[in-house]
Amino acid sequence: PDSSRLARDQEEALDKLVHAANKGEEEKVEELSKDILNNQKKLADALLKEARETDDPFRKRQILGGLDELDELIPEQLELANKVA
């Protein structure tokens, strides 16, 4: 599904963010942060659609729980990266 591709893209962007932060590349961190926030919105939309379309209550809870976790962790990761850079 689309959410799998978006999740992989988000993972790659987060890896790049960590490397840029560790190198002190402030502009790159800022650019990647914007990309990550944009990706997060797309991923959230795709996951919410997937949750609405599934009939499996366990899968629905998994999807929504994972989305909640991402919504909590992504801003923390961005804040830390900006502090390090």
- Cβ(32)–Cβ(13) below 8 Å: yes
The full length of the chain comes to 85
Q: Which residue has the tokens 């976790």?
A: 69
Handedness of CA 39, 45, 75, 10 (dihedral sign): negative
For 18, the token pair is 């960590």
CB-hemisphere CA count at 13 Å for 55? 0
Q: Which of 64, 19, 11, 10 is closest to 38 using CA atoms?
A: 10
What local confidence, expressed as pLDDT, does residue 64 receive?
96
pTM: 0.87
Could you state, in chain order, the average pLDDT of each consecutive group of 10 residues for the chain (85 residues)?
89 96 95 96 95 96 95 94 90
